[in-house]
Amino acid sequence: MRSYARRNFIAGLALVAAAAVAAPAAAAPLPAPAQAAGTWELIGKDVFTGEAEGSRSQGVTTDGTHWYFSSSNGLEITDMQYKTLLKSSPAIPSALANPSTLAYKGLNHIGDFDYADGKLYISLDTSTRDSVTGSRYDTPVFAVYNAADLGYTGQAAALNPPHGVQDIASWVAVDAARGLAYGMAYNNATEIAVYNLRDWSFNRYIPLSQTVDQAQGGKIHDGWMYFASNDAEKNISRANLTTGEVQELFDLKVPYPQEVEGLSFLDTPQGLTLNILNRELPDPNGPSNVTFYHYRLKAPGTPDIKGSPKVGGFVTADPGTWTPDARFGYQWLVNGKAVAGATGSRFHLLGKYLGDTVTVQVTGTWADGTSSTVESGPLTVATGSGTKG
């Protein structure tokens, strides 16, 4: 289907660059210790061409058993192998597409969207220019659809945060458990807008530690908002929803014209994956495509020492849960110093260690050869069958 051009064209390919009383803006967040961003490894990609390219060009979300994709004015459900189960095009009903109290110019563009509890939460706006100001993307609306049949529920609201409405509906992310929804300005955003999910009224802003430019998708995981940005570096980044700390994770830059679009998380038996849509033109004289990149989080476990910490006994290193699976090496330490030859998973608490502090370092090595070393908490060797000597 035809895309609504937002900001630029590449060789003829239209690209998407990806009401309540306002509450006062939140105070700047207090500084917090940096949190490890983790390592994301590329584990594969799927390339959509032809009709699939057109229907999977904007946003993506999942309920764990289906993928949901959006185009500029379409929605699609597939199984996890991308077999189409249902399509809706145009997906914006006349009540929203035509001029109304929600959007005086009407609505013609779907951005990245989110799934929760059988519903799809969809960001809508319009590429139509204002006849006076010439502005576009200034009638932001969040709408609710049924995930089962892609039908509009009749629930929608115009966004009206205190810092303006220009281009703030490129994506929507929801935290249904907390009753919150999130959005953000497209250009050089300095804050995340938080809305009350029950009625889309403005809740507060979360100031960011650095700007996030041209985010075309946003999804929440474990207290962080993850962004897919179509900025110069094609950054994938995240922001802490408590502190506003921004961390850059990796980039999705390829050596030909592209546009980064939506993203979605998926838990798999092999670990958490981050899945990102990217519109690409590998051959300037050939067809474009949408590539769906899949990254897996490599996360070390939290080591622990099992067993009674008494002289004369043995303790065992538990490496914790590593994602994906890894092979392990060990180094035992006494009072912070490595014990020569103590490189097995078990350690003998000799009498000479009475009263000393014992820890273990676990080095996990993944299949790609990368590794991480983490250390357990300490234990103090207590009186047992032996004596200090």
pLDDT tens digit sequence for 61-99: 999 999 999 999 999 999 999 999 999 999 999 999 999
**CB atoms < 10 A from the CB of 51, how many?**
12
pLDDT of residue 27: 37
- Cβ atoms of 38 and 299 within 8 Å: the answer is yes
This prediction has a pTM of: 0.81
Those residues with Cβ within 8 angstroms of residue 265's Cβ, 6 or more apart along the chain or in another chain = 62, 219, 221, 226, 272, 273, 274, 275
- Cβ atoms of 141 and 156 within 8 Å: the answer is yes
CATH architecture of 8-26+38-298: 5 Propeller (2.115)
Element (H, E) at 331: strand 327-334
d(CA 3, CA 72): 6
pLDDT range class, residue 5, cuts 50, 70, 90: very low
R_g of the chain computed on alpha carbons: 25
CATH architecture of 304-380: Sandwich (2.60)
Of the candidate ranges 25-34, 190-199, 313-322, 359-368, the one whose mean pLDDT is the lowest = 25-34
d(CA 363, CA 331): 8
Which amino acid makes up residue 327?
A: R
pLDDT of residue 6: 41
Residue reference for tokens 């303006």: 164
pLDDT of residue 22: 32
pLDDT range class, residue 37, cuts 50, 70, 90: low
Of the candidate ranges 8-12, 304-308, 312-316, 340-344, the one whose mean pLDDT is the lowest = 8-12
Q: Is the pLDDT of residue 15 over 80?
A: no
Closest CA to 145 of 161, 156, 157, 134: 156
**CB atoms < 10 A from the CB of 196, how many?**
15
Q: Is the pLDDT of residue 275 over 90?
A: yes
pLDDT range class, residue 160, cuts 50, 70, 90: very high
In the beta sheet, which residues pair with residue 227? 218, 237
Element (H, E) at 76: strand 74-78
Q: Torsion angle of alpha carbons 65, 70, 74, 80, nearest 10°?
A: -20
Q: Are strands 67-71 and 304-306 parallel, antiparallel or unpaired?
A: unpaired
Q: Is the pLDDT of residue 362 over 80?
A: yes
Of the candidate ranges 65-69, 196-200, 281-285, 322-326, the one whose mean pLDDT is the lowest = 322-326
Phi-psi region of 343 (alpha: psi -120 to 50; beta: other; left: phi over 0): alpha
Mean pLDDT computed over every residue of the chain: 90
Q: Cite the beta strand spans of 222-283 per DSSP E.
A: 224-229, 235-240, 246-251, 258-268, 271-280
Residue reference for tokens 């110019």: 105
Closest CA to 288 of 313, 258, 251, 309: 258
Domain with CATH 2.115.10.20 in the chain: 8-26+38-298
Domain with CATH 2.60.40.10 in the chain: 304-380
pLDDT range class, residue 384, cuts 50, 70, 90: confident
d(CA 97, CA 100): 8
Q: Is the pLDDT of residue 26 over 80?
A: no
d(CA 141, CA 156): 7
pLDDT range class, residue 139, cuts 50, 70, 90: very high
